[in-house]
Amino acid sequence: MEKDSGYPTSDAHPVAVAGSVEKPHQGGLWSRIKSHATLEVEESSYAPPGTSWSNKDLDPVPPEMQTWHTYNFVTYWISDAFAISNWRIGASLVAIGLSWKLALVAVVIGNFVTALVVTYNGVIGARLHIPFTVQARSAFGFYFSYVMIVFRVIVSIFWYGIGTYTGAECIRSIIYAWAPNFRNVPNHLPESANIDTGFMICYFIYFILVLPFHWIPAHQLHWFFTFKAIVTPIAGFAILGWVIHSTGGGDQVFTYGNSYSGSSLGWAFMSGVNAMIGNFATLGVNMNDFARYSKKPNSPYIQLFIIPVAFIVMMLFGIIGANGSRIIYDEVLWDPMLIIDNWTSPGGRAAAFFIALGFLIASIGINISANSISVAVDLSTLFPRYLNIRRAQYVCAVLGAWAMCPWEILASAESLLTFMDGYSIWLAPMAGILISDYWIVNKQRANVVEMYQPHGMYSYEKWGTNWRSVVAFVVGFAPLLPGFAKAVTSGLNVSAGASNLYALGYFYAFLSSSALYIALSKIWPPRSEYTGRTIADHLAEEPSQI
């Protein structure tokens, strides 16, 4: 049986076989399947010996694997920002009727909030070197944290599928530029399939193309993100230059005003801000899955600067591209691939080929950074004997790309896309509780070893659940459910107040949950005693464990 943890081993990391392959197969078919499926993994140095609560991939990152420097966080976010999805967000603000000025204000506010949440949660991972799934045990309790993990794994699998669809669009644009006759490939699929034969070919190509990238260990991915941070901005600036040139200068793309006025304009603006923050809600929770590889504990603070700058630039590209396409084609094209698909001259097709290639690299990177690694950490926590981070990424790829059928979601189920945007009503209180637990309630103290003990101090008073976080979590999302239901099913009769509160959903959910969690923790302090030791202390005091 292969050992495919993806990480180097050493004498300090003794190998423990979770399911022996030396013994002859006994029992029935199910016993044989379990024997082959069980991983030969390095047992956790922190979880109780012989248990199936964890594996080595979930342990605090040892010093030799802390490979992320401050500049890697810069290139990580540049590579994440310059992606089709973020171009679309800027364009969508124009599409819903905002002027370029108001759309830009929405972008600034949304990305500043995103930077705060991502940074102050990411610093926790950089200090303690633990993933989200372990960090959550401190705030939610050892057992209830698994509920939070299930919430996150569902949304990330959905978004992996949508990211695969986006990557297939890049493949299609590359083939259109290289072989224009591909547009005429006969369709052998029924209309009810919501996908044609040509696009299915592109979809399969992308699916196969991205698989080798899941083999790269997470602590080594920073090299790919650096490469992506160089290539993708070039593609974005190329389209922007063409749009400005084709419209006769930059002034033309800034002539459109707002389509709303009065309170309708205000709520449309807040809805745009909330939807934009919601798009990055997963990153506000999962940043520790990468930040734990940081060499220095304060490196994530650079995100306070780079996130607003990088995302504002890319979303401004989307705003200009949307207004420019309205001038050039008399319709708003909010997808950069749709713009370059119109470049039919030989020179235009050559440019389209390289631009689509650049965005293809971007789509691969963002699907890994925002989705597959997060799903892998979640699944390896849920099934540590059967899945490590590498193997779980392939499970994510199959489930997200094929089981979820994202072409069905994008083609015929707008309500499900609204559901995915609305998923922030659960992720926002989760992020608020995680951040307030570390920074305010526990005053930046944690006991990392205890986070791996099912009956340790993070089991709290009963059932391995911190009831304070449960109450805060419910209060954070429950009042938003009517507005969420209205957004998903427009025919529902919901009060204007509920709809307006939903437009403020992320702000309400984050602030209310964190404030209530802090208040409950002050009134009824948890009985656990916090030692104040960080992972750095453990390294100094018990180096043989790391």
Q: Is the pLDDT of residue 406 over 50?
A: yes
In a domain, 364, yes or no: yes
What pLDDT is recorded for position 352? 96
Q: Is the pLDDT of residue 102 over 90?
A: no
In a domain, 368, yes or no: yes
In a domain, 33, yes or no: no
Residue range 264-290: mean pLDDT, rounded: 84
What pLDDT is recorded for position 6? 39
Determine which of 263-272, 380-389, 518-527 has the lowest per-residue pLDDT on average: 263-272
In a domain, 38, yes or no: no
Pick the more confident residue, 33 or 170: 170
CA distance 416 to 431: 23
Tell me the pLDDT band of 331, cut-offs 50, 70 and 90.
Answer: confident
Residue span of the structural domain in which 426 resides: 57-540
Q: Is the pLDDT of residue 4 over 60?
A: no
Handedness of CA 353, 359, 364, 365 (dihedral sign): positive
Looking up residue 100, the CATH number of its domain turns out to be 1.10.4160.10
Q: Is the pLDDT of residue 84 over 90?
A: no
On whether the CB atoms of residues 132 and 457 are closer than 8 A, the answer is: no
Q: Is the pLDDT of residue 303 over 60?
A: yes
Q: Is the pLDDT of residue 279 over 80?
A: no
In a domain, 25, yes or no: no
Q: What is the CA radius of gyration of the chain?
A: 24
In a domain, 361, yes or no: yes
In a domain, 18, yes or no: no
Report the alpha-carbon angle 95-100-102, nearest 5.
Answer: 95
Residue range 447-456: mean pLDDT, rounded: 92
**Neighbour count for residue 196 (Cβ, 10 Å):** 16
In a domain, 66, yes or no: yes
Number of domains the chain contains? 1
Q: Is the pLDDT of residue 536 over 70?
A: no
pTM: 0.86
The pair phi, psi for residue 121, each rounded to 5°, is -85, -35
Tell me the pLDDT band of 400, cut-offs 50, 70 and 90.
Answer: very high
Tell me the pLDDT band of 12, cut-offs 50, 70 and 90.
Answer: very low
CA distance 285 to 393: 18
On whether the CB atoms of residues 68 and 299 are closer than 8 A, the answer is: yes
CA distance 354 to 366: 19
Pick the more confident residue, 315 or 147: 147
Residue range 396-412: mean pLDDT, rounded: 85
What pLDDT is recorded for position 174? 97
Residue range 498-520: mean pLDDT, rounded: 94
68: β partners: 294
Nearest to 528 by CA among 471, 475, 451, 476: 451
Tell me the pLDDT band of 126, cut-offs 50, 70 and 90.
Answer: very high
What pLDDT is recorded for position 28? 62
Residue range 483-492: mean pLDDT, rounded: 82
What pLDDT is recorded for position 409? 73
What pLDDT is recorded for position 305? 96
293 token code pair: 């590889």
Q: pLDDT by residue (tens digit) across 41-71? A: 577 888 888 777 888 999 999 999 999 999 9
What pLDDT is recorded for position 16? 34
Q: What percent of the chain has pLDDT over 90?
A: 55
For residue 163, what are the CA distances in angstroms to 60, 109, 168?
Answer: 29, 25, 9
Q: What percent of the chain has pLDDT over 70?
A: 84
Q: Is the pLDDT of residue 430 over 70?
A: yes
Q: Is the pLDDT of residue 18 over 50?
A: no
Pick the more confident residue, 3 or 539: 539
Q: Is the pLDDT of residue 446 over 50?
A: yes
What pLDDT is recorded for position 11? 36
Return the top range by mean pLDDT from 301-305, 370-374, 421-425: 301-305
What pLDDT is recorded for position 376? 95
